[in-house]
Every structure is written in C-alpha cells, then in structure tokens.
Structure 1
C-alpha cells in the first residue's frame, strides 16, 4: 500500500507550479504544521499577510479538497506523534537550564523522529533497496556537504561485508569522474534534504540515461522525485526550521547494510573474516576483540513429527 505524501513532500513537488502568494502560504504551512492544523483560513492568512481565499486556493493547489482536508491530514499526522513524551520534548525547547535539559530534549526529539519514520517508511520499498544493493556490481553512495562523511562510513561498511562500494561527495567537475563508469549493473544510493541542487539533478539525469537504478533517502523530496528514482526511503530528518540531524539517515543506512549482509550471510562473514586476517597481518598479532559481524540468525523451521 502506497504511503500518503506528507505536506512537506506535496510542497516540494508542487513548488514550481505555485504562484508567489501560494508558495508563501505553502512554505508557512510546511514550517508550522502544528499551528496550521488548528488554525482558520483567516488566521493563516493573517500570519502570512495574505487573504483567506488565497489560503483555500493554496490547499487545493497542494492536492487537498480544501483547507478542511489539509487540516484533517495534519491533525491525523500530529495525533500519531503527540505522545506524552513528544509533548515533553516540545516543552523542553523553551528550557534553558543547562546541558542536562538540552541532552534530554535532543534524545526525545530523535525518538520522536524515529517513531515518525515507522509511519513514513514503506517496507516494500526498503526490501527493494536491499535487493538492488545486494545484486549490484558496485554501489555508489552520494552525499554532499554534511552527508559526505556519512557516505564514506556506509561505503566502508558495505565493503566490509563483501560488496564493492565507493562514494561521490565532490561537487563541480570532479563529480563527473565519479559518475563516468556507472552502468546498469550498478546502483546509486543518494541522500537529499529539502531542495534539489545541481549535483542531484545531474546524478538523476545521468542514471536515467544509462539505466542505473537509484535509491533516494529524503525527508520531503520523495513525491517530487518519484519518477526519477527506483526506490524512495522517506523519513523525517528534523522539524522544519530547526537544525537538520543526520541520525535518522545514519540509522536507515545501517539498517540497509545489515539487511544486505543478512541476505547473503556466507558472503558477509567470509569478507569479515578476510578483513580480520588482513588486520592481523598488519598488526602483527591476533585479533581477539576486533571486528566481528553479528547477523540475525534465520528462523528455524519446526521439525515435522
């Protein structure tokens, strides 16, 4: 069953078709979902400096049957998220009692996003991503700016379980070198938040031309890029207007890597053992507490009586 696009995804996919006024209202709605869920058209118009009629037109332009439909969608989403723990997290935003309070708020905020990811992620899409990476000749992990280090981390772990992987975090002409030898037997894993930059456009266009499947990890661009990628893994990265955390991305990528390893246990374990042997040779002594790969054991079928 297909997941219903979030308000943020609707705004991202329709941004270019909105008028200046509609775009202003849409961006306000995406940035203030809690307020919008319980505000009238007049109140939203006052907050955005527009008319209530413009608010209704914007809701329809975003694919809703009007403002009531948009508010029902937001209220349903918020009902799932506003548990007592989440309300506490929201309250802690205003607390300035020192690092202990900030630690609590940050941990609860991450728990909230991970709980939300359970509702936005599609299990069938994740399975397809695992199959694509598992069958690929090579995986190219693309991440720019703050995501570059994460790309290196995941590419390294894919290599350690016996899957060829490399990264593309360069911008400008150097990105062309990373894309040049891609073929249909490879797969690209790319990450993008909020906006579609030039590098992402070039990657997606090139992959379409040469037939390379693409797995997209995103928070708001799933609907906008659905026709250009093979798999969308959509999960909230942060609340609109706040510092973007990569914790959800990291957990998604680690889950993907572990699932790929579990799909071919023998290959993963053999690669890990070979790596440990190489480390022993480099260190000059045996590895007792070094890397070991722990995979979920397959369920045993009950014996027939």
Structure 2
C-alpha cells in the first residue's frame, strides 16, 4: 500500500463508514433495512445529522421503514439510533472527507473475495469435507435438500452429482410431500442427506432436518454460519459465509464449497471417472453440446 492509499484507508470518513458497517453487520436485516444501512454507510459523514424523513428519501423507502430499521438494531426508535451514530462516527468527517476507495458494487465483490479467503483457510483442515464426501458417496439414494434461497445451490450440486452418483434425489420444494420423499428415500436405502441452508432460514428447513434425523439419516449441512438455526439438527455442519453487502445475499462461498464436496464425493466413488467418460461419450454421440 503506497502513502496515498494508506492515507485514504486511515481517513476519518473511512473510519466512520467502517464503524457503521460493523454496527449493521452484527444484525440480520431485511432487504429494505439493508438498503437503509447502505445509504447510511455511503453518507457516513452526514448520517448522525439526518432526520428519519431525510434518510427515507435518500434510501427510497418509507419513513416507518426507517423507524423499523432502528428498532431492528435494538433502539427505541430512530432518534436513539441517531444519538448513537453521533458517538460512533468520529468528529471532523462532515466536510471535505475523501470518497471511499470503492463504490457499493465493488465493496460487495471485495466482501465475497474475503468470504472465499475465509473458506480457503477453513479448508486447510480437509478432514470434515473428506468425511462428508465419504458419507455422501455411500448413501444410495442420496438426498439433496435446498429450499427458497438455497434451492439454486442444491440444484447445482444435484445436477453434477447425478453424473457420478447412481441415485441422487433433489428436494427443492417444501410442503407436506417433503416428509413423504424422505421416507421413500430411507426405505430405498438412503443413509445421508445433504442440505444447503442459507438466510433467511425457512422454518420448514429446520423441521425437515429434524424429521430426517429422526428417520435415521446422517445430516450434512452447508450453512452460512456454525450458529445457524439448522446447526442443532446437523451431524456435520460446514460453514460458508454469505455476502450481505447488497440488498439480497450473495452465495459464492456456499456454491464453491458445494463443488468441493462434489470433488470429495467423487474420491469416494471408485467408478466416478468411468461414469463421467460414459456421459461424455453419449453426449458426443447425441451432439448434446455445441463445440
């Protein structure tokens, strides 16, 4: 970091924004509330002096939403939050403060990069993933569960897993049929269920995992935190943080962890490579892909 970059990073404005980010990131916020939080972070120098009406106009939300935002953070109302902001944001940042190094979109990308670095550090101990891979490979059939926000992660895993595993069953919709599908898989010989659980955690996912464990399945869960609500119903929980810098969570880290689990599962399937080669041969014969 050169002298100019160091000065910018140590500027009062950046310090104020960082303190606000720390305050907001400690809470699980709705998309509307995140919009308000982003607005305040971008206007860190002015935030302690803005009225709730001004914040609402700047964020493009209603004034009651700003009040609910303050309550979600644990304050009696917006005036109490604003009082705290005046203590959090250091003095001298209101006028002439240098702009942040990155815009909000770049900040979201850099936050995801940090999540991936954290995942890489966790994978320095490959034991939990290797154990998960062995359990997934041995389950016939293999259940893969992901509802709502996590359905894309579960669907991606199941799509690729089906190329090497003889029987993969995806559950990406809740409802009364979910328990029936778990029962059917157990009767067919299933021993493990892989769950992708992402915020905001649906109650039906927690209930589904409790049912799966009661049915005798070993539950392996990819979740955003070891403290996620699904932890109590997971035999093996693998954490992968989600990004919260945008209105909706970003899940690059859980997706990558899913691919790592695929690799570990392949290591436990002696015929995985043969199945992949067989698929490639059939795909070529059918001209399935554009060359």
TM bracket, shorter-chain basis = 0.5 to 0.7
Q: Give the count of matched residue pairs.
A: 202
In structure 2, the residue matched to 1:292 is: none
Contact 1:194 1:221 in 2 (8 A): no
Secondary structure, counterpart of 2:193 in structure 1: strand
Once the two structures are superposed, residues 138-167 of structure 1 have per-residue CA deviations (whole angstroms, 9 ceiling, x without a partner) of 221111123223322211211112342121
CA distance in 1, matches of 2:154, 2:233: 21
SS across alignment from 2:284: helix
Aligned 8 A contact 1:141 1:189 in 2: yes
| Post-superposition offset of 1:223 | 6.0
Summarize the Cα distance change of 1:114–1:230 in structure 2 as closer, same or farther, 3 Å threshold.
same
Instruction: State yes or no: 1:131 paired with 2:138.
Output: no
Q: What is the CA–CA distance in structure 2 between the aligned matches of 1:282 and 1:228, rounded to whole Å?
A: 44
Whole-angstrom distance in 2 between the partners of 1:146 and 1:193: 6
Offset at residue 261 of structure 1 (A): 1.4
Q: Map 1:89-168 to 2 at 5 A.
A: 91-93=101-103, 102=105, 104-119=106-121, 123-168=126-171
Structure 2 vs 1, CA of residues 196 and 283 (structure 1 numbering), >3 Å: closer, same or farther? closer
TM-score, normalising length: structure 2:
0.59
In the other structure, the counterpart of 2:256 is 251
Compared CA separation, residues 276 and 31, structure 1 to 2 (3 A): same
Is residue 236 from structure 1 mapped to residue 262 from structure 2 by the alignment? no
State the 1:29 CA deviation: 7.3
Of the candidates 30, 33, 47, which is equivalent to residue 26 of structure 2?
A: 30
Moved more, 232-241 or 162-171: 232-241
Give the secondary-structure state (helix, strand or coil) at the position aligned to 1:170: coil
1:238-261 C-alpha deviation (Å, 9 max, x unpaired): 237853112111100001101221
Q: Residue 195 of structure 1: CA displacement?
A: 4.7
Question: RMSD value over aligned CA atoms?
Answer: 3.4
Q: Moved runs in structure 1, 4+ residues, more than 4 A?
A: 119-122
1:171 matched to 2:178? no
**Equivalent position of 1:24 in the other structure:** none
Q: TM-score, normalised by structure 1?
A: 0.56
User: How much has 1:197 moved relative to structure 2?
Assistant: 2.4
